[in-house]
Amino acid sequence: MKFAFVFPGQGSQSIGMMHGYTDLPIIQETFQEASDILKQDFWSMVNSGPAEDLNLTLNTQPLMLAAGVAVYRAWISLGGKEPVFLAGHSLGEYTALVASEALSFADALSLVHFRAQVMQQAVPEGIGGMAAILGLDDEAITAICRDITNKGNGESLEPANFNSPGQIVIAGHKNAILQGIELAKSKGAKRAIMLPMSIPSHCSLMKPAAERLQLQLQRVTLQAPNIPILHNTDVKSHSDPATIKEILAQQLIRPVHWVDTIRAFAAAEITHVIECGPGKVLAGLNKRIDQNLQQLSLTDSEAIKQAINDVRAL
């Protein structure tokens, strides 16, 4: 039996999401460490909100990193085995780098805080956005984006997240997205909705942010991962730190290939995929990608302990 860990990114956060782990001291200790480094009370924010603060990307990115690292530390402290592969959905890739000991927690926190800043600054409020399209295949969505971008009015639209078969997120200029939604509906999309995000992630509008992040990454020490990580941009694992830094910068302007990531796990004879962090967003996507893969979610301390026992029994 072989298992992989996956780490969630933005979109999995919610007030009270750490309530189920309060009997594990290492959880709050990890949040305190993050709070000390970034001079913010993340534990209070995640437990009490308000939701507007929790959902602000400058807070969400370091907060979700802290949550994933805390749960992974809890897994290890309780005797959980190391996975054979790691992956993270967008921001979750930084959590995977910490878990693999390629990047220190302190450096990862500073990086994702900087990442959030430059992403927010790259596109003015109201100019860009993202939308989820359900019920159309990859080729249809790609064609819609190409047709709208090729209109020649200077606005772009691109596939941003290949989350599961028939669930794709598009990103770009807001007007282009609205056109994409209407065109997708006319072509038979079951649902096409604007997402509550002002930042058009994983598309060319993030180029200024990617360039600034690349410069910042040069100031950070990064080691070869101890556990292979499948990266969002190319669904490959890399051991060269310079290549990983390039991949992290490119991640901002290239789509998240989550479907291909989970299929690569299956091809590598992974039998169980364990979502390490609060919520079950990735488990839901993974089930739709490959029903033969067993999904476990470490949503609270009891789930962690049960998953450790399940892995030992196999």
Distance of CA 126 to the CA centre of its chain: 23
Dist. CA 268–CA 290, nearest whole Å: 13
Burial of 28 (0-12, 13-18, 19+ CB in 10 A): middle
C-alpha dihedral (120, 122, 124, 129), degrees to nearest 10 = -70
| Owner of token pair 């028939």 | 166
Active site residues: 90, 202
* Cα–Cα distances in angstroms (integers) from residue 59 to residues 13, 51, 56, 65, 277, in the given order: 10, 11, 5, 10, 16
Phi, psi dihedrals of residue 158, rounded to the nearest 5°: -145, 150
DSSP class of 180: H
Q: Give, rounded to a whole angstrom, the gap between the first and last alpha carbons of the chain.
A: 6
Q: 189-203 burial by CB neighbour count: b if 16+ within 10 A, else e?
A: beebeeeebbbbbbb
Dist. CA 178–CA 62, nearest whole Å: 30
